[in-house]
């Protein structure tokens, strides 16, 4: 069996008696793209800092590439296997992008050739600019290039696209997809559920110091039993909302949904935890019901269900 890239056993971490990580266990294998989700303060950054040896655990074992983190700290060769992009990376603003790249490439035994890195990270027009003069998105692109300059096997990204606009975020996603295609394993924390959905092969949801969900984006969506039912119906929004299994009813704008042969009908989107029960009620009460579709919820809805369910909030 191959050695896991990351193996965490019974990890605990408290801050001032407040438990942040609680008997946490995790194994990550080569080739995985893992997104760690969790509400603000869930402990995502704390976990990354412990994995990188920047913060001591209170108890438990943390191994990277089969070695304790303490060994990793002392071994330049092992450290070269890891690329990191943290939330608060501060680089000297007076150096140019090229100077930063040249400096970082000296730290690694077998760095990426700079022309190729500059091209693939979209930095060609920026190399002579000082780091301080770059936009937020451009700075992130430079930080990403520095994180992969040493050809790491494992890349840690802590909320890498925070504050980026849609276009910059999508450009960044392309970089991560390329890293994946190059065989790099990636651990990223994010608040953007679409990001996790788009990039990750595996999603972990951290809450109360433990992982409350672990699976592919599709599994996570399915884990939340909720389904979205869309239909055109004469039944009132108020009536449907009163059914116990119904969590949400949204009425789409009337002008978009008006039907010639059924003018009293309105287009509804219903979230139900027991879709079969809701369908039975709808069909029994409205014989003229049309345009019926049932679909999975979005990852965002699944995440909200998980993090707000009573079962996990103890």
Q: Given the rule CB under 6 A, which residues bind ligand ATP?
A: 15, 20, 38, 40-46
Closer to ligand ATP by Cβ: residue 2 or 40? 40
* Least distance (Å) between residue 83 CB and ligand ATP: 19
Cα end-to-end distance, the chain, whole Å: 37
Closer to ligand ATP by Cβ: residue 62 or 249? 62
Closer to ligand ATP by Cβ: residue 164 or 232? 164
Closer to ligand ATP by Cβ: residue 131 or 156? 156
Closer to ligand ATP by Cβ: residue 57 or 149? 57
What is the bridge-based pairing of β-strands 202-207 and 210-215? antiparallel
* Least distance (Å) between residue 24 CB and ligand ATP: 12
H helices within the chain, ranges in order? Answer: 44-51, 69-74, 76-79, 97-105, 114-120, 136-148, 166-181, 193-199, 217-223, 237-241, 254-257, 275-285, 299-308
* Least distance (Å) between residue 140 CB and ligand ATP: 16
* Least distance (Å) between residue 131 CB and ligand ATP: 23
Closer to ligand ATP by Cβ: residue 190 or 224? 190
* Least distance (Å) between residue 168 CB and ligand ATP: 20
CA dihedral 168, 169, 171, 176 (to 10 degrees): 150
CA distance 166 to 164: 7
Q: Are 49 and 10 in contact (CB under 8 A)?
A: no
List CB contacts of 115: < 8 A, sequence separation 6 or more.
none
CA distance 205 to 188: 12
Residue 311 φ/ψ region, left for φ over 0, alpha for ψ in the -120 to 50 degree band, beta for the rest? alpha
* Least distance (Å) between residue 69 CB and ligand ATP: 17
């Amino acid at each position: 069996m191959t050695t896991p890239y990351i193996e965490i056993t019974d990890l605990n971490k408290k801050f001032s008696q407040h438990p942040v990580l609680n008997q946490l266990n995790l194994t990550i294998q080569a080739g995985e793209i893992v997104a760690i989700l969790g509400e603000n303060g869930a402990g995502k950054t704390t976990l990354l800092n412990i994995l990188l040896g920047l913060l001591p655990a209170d108890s438990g074992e943390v191994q990277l590439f089969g070695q304790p983190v303490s060994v990793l700290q002392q071994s330049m060769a092992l450290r070269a296997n890891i690329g990191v992009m943290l939330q608060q990376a501060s680089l000297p603003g007076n150096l140019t992008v090229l100077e930063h790249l040249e400096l970082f490439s000296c730290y690694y035994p077998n760095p990426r050739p700079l022309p190729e890195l500059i091209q693939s990270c979209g930095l060609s027009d920026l190399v002579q600019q000082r780091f301080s003069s770059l936009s937020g998105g451009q700075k992130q692109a430079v930080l990403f290039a520095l994180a992969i300059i040493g050809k790491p096997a494992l890349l840690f990204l802590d909320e890498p696209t925070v504050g980026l606009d849609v276009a910059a975020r999508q450009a960044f996603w392309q970089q991560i997809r390329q890293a994946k295609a190059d065989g790099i394993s990636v651990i990223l924390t994010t608040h953007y559920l679409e990001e996790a959905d788009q990039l990750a092969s595996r999603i972990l949801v951290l809450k109360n110091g433990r992982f409350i969900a672990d699976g592919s984006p599709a599994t996570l969506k399915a884990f939340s039993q909720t389904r979205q039912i869309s239909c055109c119906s004469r039944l009132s929004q108020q009536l449907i909302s009163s059914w116990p299994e119904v969590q949400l009813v949204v009425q789409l704008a009337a002008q978009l949904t008006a039907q010639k042969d059924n003018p009293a009908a309105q287009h509804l989107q219903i979230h139900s935890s027991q879709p079969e029960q809701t369908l039975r009620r709808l069909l029994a009460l409205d014989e003229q019901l049309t345009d019926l579709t049932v679909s999975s919820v979005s990852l965002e809805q699944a995440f909200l269900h998980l993090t707000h369910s009573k079962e996990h909030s103890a």
